[in-house]
Amino acid sequence: MSYITASILYDYLQCPHRVWRDQYGPQDEKVEDENLFIKLLWERGVLHEKEIIDQLGEYENLSHGTIDARLKATEDRIEQGVELIYQGVIKFENLLGIPDLLQKTGLKTYIPIDIKSGRGYGEYLAGDEPKLKRHYAVQLSLYAEILNSLGYASEYKGIIIDGSNEYVDYDLNLPIGKRDTRTYFDYYCALKNEVYPLIENRSQNIPALGSVCKNCVWQESCKKWIFEQDDLTKLFYLGRSKRDGLNNVFGITKTKELISLDLGTLLHMRKENEGRLKGLQLGEKTLEQIHRRALIMKVEKSQYYMSQLTCLKLKLSCILISKMILCEGLFIFMVSMKRQMKKNSSYLLLQDRTMKQEREQHLKNFGNIYAHLKAKCTLFITILPMKNQFIRALGKNILI
């Protein structure tokens, strides 16, 4: 049997396709490169969890052994009424969870607690009321459902111990917000129903290129599929939700199909299906941009692609612009600092000889830095008045 776990639900929230690909994708295309940033976050989380655990006092440690052995041990400790269980395993039907902590709340009733190195709350609602983080709520909902199904809990609640050691209560029966009035537990149930057919291979979905791909082991594999299938997400900044909207509402699945339509026809189709586009961010300007990008990728290179030499010139021009802007900012800052130091009356009021000497040395050092910067920036300072005209002229020669 395939189990729904907290990590699978989290992966689905990040990328709905990864759940299926982890189970049934081409494993030889999976690239397990070490990501230093992800490793850093993981190490930070491990250290924070250790700090929290060290402060707890007495607890039952069930973090070692096989899943089956830990599952049996967790059931035994709950029946014995142990106050605090660390890394216990709980299971009901196709649901499997390993909460960081199980805290006793009554006679054989427990509340799940998870330790996070980030903030316990997400964004704020109107009236400065903190909003719960959805992925935290989904994880706690899984644990709460298992505990309630087993008779070890009577409420759908959980607790997050965050990076500031704050205990944040998660009432999973609260509505997500004013627009989305579902409870967090209802939201979890909807996700669960979408995930299970994927891990059972009873349904499939397709990849999409997006910002989350950069940290994924399937990035190159999905990218290969997308370009082979001429998928719309190979277009810059299109993304999964817009792609799905174009697929489902417009019936457009490939970039060549998008190119075959003129812009007027595309906008007319949008007007006819406006009621189905709510929340998909496919306004007229967005469709114009998408259509233009498709043309750039597909139409004759001589008309739309810049040559290698032009690209090199563009790169050098961008470097020049950045240096001009940087030097302009630094030079203006140094000039203002020099003037300020001369005008600062506090220096002139100093009577102590030692402090006067220190002031003179500071001014001398500053003068050396100022002279060095001015010498290095001579070329750019000379052409600074031309900066805006140069940028505009450059922009006219680039097709975006």
pLDDT, one tens digit per residue, over 374-384 is: 555 554 444 44
Q: Which of 334, 336, 238 is nearest to 294 (CA)?
A: 238
CA 80 to chain CA centroid, Å, is 42
Give 74-130 pLDDT, tens digit per residue.
999 999 999 999 999 999 999 999 999 999 999 889 999 999 988 888 766 555 567
The residue extents of the domains of the chain are 6-199, 230-304, 330-396
Q: What kind and span of H or E run contains 358?
A: helix 353-376
CA–CA dist 255, 297 (Å, integer): 9
Give 130-156 pLDDT, tens digit per residue.
789 999 999 999 999 999 999 999 999
Contact 186, 172 (CB under 8 A): no
Q: Region 277-295: what's the mean pLDDT?
A: 86
**What amino acid is encoded at 254 in this protein?**
K
pLDDT value at residue 371: 61
Band the pLDDT of 398: cuts 50, 70, 90. very low
Q: In what side-by-side order are the strands of the sheet with 157-161?
A: 60-61, 84-86, 101-106, 109-115, 157-161, 167-171
Q: Region 364-369: what's the mean pLDDT?
A: 62
Contact 207, 229 (CB under 8 A): no
pLDDT value at residue 374: 56
Give 384 or 400, the one with higher predicted confidence. Answer: 384
What are the backbone dihedrals phi and psi of residue 158, each rounded to the nearest 5 degrees, phi first? -155, 180
Tokens 């999409």, residue located: 208
pLDDT value at residue 396: 42
Give 324 or 249, the one with higher predicted confidence. Answer: 249
